[in-house]
Amino acid sequence: MQVFTDSPEATEDLGEELGKLLQPDDVVALVGELGAGKTVFVHGIARGLGVEDTVSSPSFLIVQEYRGQCPLFHCDFYRVNSYQELEDIGWEEYLNRGGVVVIEWANLIPEALPGEYLRVVFSFCEPSASSRCLEFYPIGRRYQEIVKELAKRCGYWE
């Protein structure tokens, strides 16, 4: 599914709708250039999960934890140099703690991704500087169902 948003607010709203569909142990892998809207999208996911705290980029911490209807583990692989670094912080535990794991820059350490997850690719698009294209690639049946429901709720069709 490919979705176009025309403002940061629209990107965040789309994230919120996705957040409402996510459940414990779901993994969302975000990919895209710097400034393409990944963190804005995570703000929406957090809102959809009932997180009341302000969500910030975890660039220097690797993982930020938030409480909502289920835990949100917001990860950023931008400054991670190897899978070993993730293992050192207990990465596998994050994947099995009953929370939603959202990873920015997931393409940088692909071996950290589980067998099934939702990949969202962000890119800049016309007509304005705030326009974004988000492409959803479900890896696994559960994520196919999530994308299908998201498309239905947002009025988009594959």
pLDDT at res. 157? 53
User: Do 102 and 42 meet the contact criterion of CB atoms below 8 Å apart?
Assistant: yes
Cβ atoms 145, 153 nearer than 8 A: no
Residues of the chain with pLDDT below 70 are 58-60, 156-158
> What phi and psi, each to the nearest 5 degrees, are found at residue 95?
-70, -15
Residue 158: per-residue pLDDT = 46
Report pLDDT for 128: 79
Question: pTM score, two decimals?
Answer: 0.92
Per residue, what are the HEC states of 115-129? CCEEEEEEEECCCCC
Strand partners, 120: 30, 136
Tell me the domains of the chain and their CATH numbers: 2-154 (3.40.50.300)
Residue 35 is predicted with a pLDDT of 87
